Each structure stands twice: as C-alpha cells, then as structure tokens.
Structure 1
Amino acid sequence: MGGLVGHNRGSTVLRACGCAVAGLFLIAGCADDGTPKGGAASRTPAMSGTPSGTGGSGAGTPAPTGSPAAPLVPELDESKQPKTAAEARDLLGRIMIAEQALGPEVVRSTPFESDPGRWPVLDEGCVWQIAGLPADVLATRTRSFHIPAKDGRGRVRFNATVTVHHNREESGWETARAMEEVLRCPDQKLREGEELKKLWGGVLYLGEQMNGWTEDAFTESGTYVSAQDGGPYYYTWSQAQFGPVTVAIAARGAAGYTDEDVSAFVVQGTSRLMLQAKQELGKAAG
C-alpha cells in the first residue's frame, strides 16, 4: 500500500522484522509446485476471464526449491521495462490476475478495478486517501474480489495490486515505504466504518530466510474490523518485487475461515502474479 516516507533499504528495522514474512508461507504450506496444501484454495490495505497474454495457468513457487540452473528469480531483461505510462498500463494487463486465479468460489466485487492513474496514500492521521500518481510510478491497478457469504460463513475480501515503476530502485523504495507505514501506523482507517488494527510487518530480501522467489518479500498482518462485516477478523497483505514491478494480494477474513485459510489464498495469488511478472520481464533461459 502507498506510503509517505521511506527507510534506507538496508536498515536494521526492516531486517529485524524480516522473519515475519516467512511465517506467512509456513502457515499456508505449499506443495512442490507452489500451490497451497490442504485444499484451501479449492474452497476459494477493484474483468472477467484471464487477461490476454497471462497464460492463465500455473503458479509461482514461494519456497526456494529451485536449482542454480533454474533460478526462481530470473535475470531482468531491462529492454522489456516499460518507458511510458501507456506501456506500463499494457504490462499491468498482462500481469494482473482474474478471479479464477484465487479459486472457483471467488467472484468480482463492485467496484472491480481501480483507476490506473490514481494511488492510495496513508495520510498523517493514518487514514487512507486516493491521490494522483507520484513521480516514481508509471501505472498501478487494483482489482477487488470476494467469496460470497454462505453456509454460515462470512464474506472474505481480496485486493490484487500491480504497480509499475521506472526501474528496480523505485520499486524497492515502495517496499521500504510499505514497512514504514506499518511502523508509523499500526492502526489504520481504510474508509468510514472499516479499520485495520494491530498491524505488524516484515521484509526479507532475496536470499534471506525462506525468500528465494522475489527480490523483496514484504508482509503485514493484523485484524480487520468493519461496521458492516463485524470482526475483528484476520487481515494480511503480501507484496513481492521483480525489477520495476511490485505485486500484492491483501485479504480480509471472515467468520468461518481460519487464518491459515486466508493465508493460503494470499500465497496462491501472490505466487501467480509474481510468476507472470517474471514471464513478462525476465530474460529467456539459455
């Protein structure tokens, strides 16, 4: 989620919290192909069908099970980086997931898709606002999905976000700002009647702890309270980076879903987004 002030990417604050992100993947549990174990996906701070060019199948692997001959983070092909806002919006369409990527029970919410020229900003009062894009962002888009309430279980909400910067340095600073926001505002207001409480977060760089799948892995977790949906329920946000692109999934839980259920959806969605970013921007093997 957007932020205001960045920390140095090598700061001890970020690294001290880093082990937290590994917990997200341990909680969800992943099979060798990167899909969540336990069948949670099959039950599954925004267009129908899979966007053209995404391939619509497969999932990334958030655990470092690859070999040096087949790295999970390929070399970035800088010639593929978008240079204009129009090119960035085109790339967004090829990376962004549709509802099917999260599971057969997931449907589109209304509103479904955000304006690629607008950006969320956490103000000094820890309230989220919508503003124009900062200079370091070419385009961003968020899609909103949910699992409808039924059979005694509540509605689970998801947001998938892809952001395209000019280069890797700018996308890295986005991750640093996300960590700063958690430290500055452990309690945040999404909108009237919706709040996040007791947030904590962590960052792992490539090669640290369990992170062998993204240049920066960031997660935040806490609780979600809504005047409409009740709560507190589990909330989590997972963000990953490849080159100039960041991808993220946020989930707000509901009655009848465990923390592990919700985390499994987030792992699956983030893995798919990261796989598609690597396919679009990575150098071809060989």
Structure 2
Amino acid sequence: MATVHGSALGADEQLSTTLEEVLRCPEQRPRSAERITGLMSLGTPFGAREQQYADDSVLEAGTYAENGGAGQPYRWMVARLGTVVVAVSVTGGAGNTEQELNELGSKALAKMLTRVEQRLKGK
C-alpha cells in the first residue's frame, strides 16, 4: 500500500495515528472472522536505533488468527519518505519463523521505498 499526502505533516499524522491506535486497541478485528491480538507498536524516526532508510517508520507486531484457528505471527511495517507513506503487512503460516516474516516484510518495504525514492528524484 502507498499513500501520497499533500505535506510531510499529513504523512507524519498517518504514522502517529498508526502508532497510537495500537495503544488504544491492542486487539483488533480487521474482518468478522479475523482477530489480531497482543499488538505492540514501535516508532523509529530517521537516525534513531540505526534507522537510515526512511524519514520515519512504525512496526506493529502481534498474533493473527482466523476463524478461531491457531495464532500466527503478524507484522505491519509502515515507513515515510517525504509525503509518501508505504506499508507492508505480513502474516505467518505453519512453519514460518518470525525471522522469516521480518525478512520478507523488510525486503518488500525496502523495494517500495527504493521505488518511491526514485520517483521523488525524477528517475
């Protein structure tokens, strides 16, 4: 997913909302048969904790379950470059490790950010 805002402030507001929503609702129901529990979020602005890839980023992590089934790791990774916000959602399945999910989500987010950066520079 990618969203282009009219200003960097508007894009920052989207990331702030993402970060704060988890604090208000650590359990969410995206659809009637789906449940995400144990949600935590972590915001990391550029330069903090060696984050050098975006102006700001948020990681949301929890456990996803569908139709009352077993829970699987869930990650939602959001990043901002200028006025553009990109997001990747990754949900595990049987046999997937959390490390594999983190790598998959990180690679997808990096590709999206590279494309955004190229477009912003006019390449």
TM normalised by structure 1 equals 0.42
Distance in 1 between residues matched to 2:33 and 2:91, nearest whole Å? 14
The structure with more helix, counted as a fraction of residues: 2
Question: What is the match of residue 219 of structure 1?
Answer: 59
Higher Cα Rg, which structure: 1
Question: What is the match of residue 95 of structure 2?
Answer: 256
Q: Which one of 232, 246, 271 corresponds to residue 110 of structure 2?
A: 271
Q: After superposition, give the CA deviation of every residue in 1:114-155 in whole Å (9 maximum; x if it has no partner).
A: xxxxxxxxxxxxxxxxxxxxxxxxxxxxxxxxxxxxxxxxxx
Aligned positions of 1:155-174 closer than 5 A: 161-174=1-14
AA of the residue aligned to 1:231? A
AA of the residue aligned to 2:16? A
AA of the residue aligned to 1:164? V
- Residue 283 of structure 1 deviates from its aligned partner by 6.9
2:85 is aligned with 1:241: no
Indicate conservation of the 8 Å contact 1:231/1:254, yes or no: no
- Residue 282 of structure 1 deviates from its aligned partner by 3.0
AA of the residue aligned to 1:264? E
What percent of counterpart residues are identical? 28
How many residue pairs end up in the alignment?
Answer: 123
Between the two structures, name the one with larger relative contact order (CA 8 Å, sep ≥ 6). Answer: 1
Q: After superposition, give the CA deviation of every residue in 1:93-133 in whole Å (9 maximum; x if it has no partner).
A: xxxxxxxxxxxxxxxxxxxxxxxxxxxxxxxxxxxxxxxxx
Aligned positions of 1:39-118 closer than 5 A: none
Distance in 2 between residues matched to 1:283 and 1:214, nearest whole Å? 18
Distance in 1 between residues matched to 2:29 and 2:67, nearest whole Å? 12
Indicate conservation of the 8 Å contact 1:187/1:199, yes or no: yes
Aligned positions of 1:147-158 closer than 5 A: none
- Residue 251 of structure 1 deviates from its aligned partner by 0.7
Indicate conservation of the 8 Å contact 1:224/1:252, yes or no: yes
Runs of 4+ in structure 1 displaced over 3 angstroms?
none
Which runs of 5 or more structure 1 residues have no equivalent in the other structure?
Answer: 1-160
The structure with more strand, counted as a fraction of residues: 2
Distance in 2 between residues matched to 1:172 and 1:259, nearest whole Å? 28
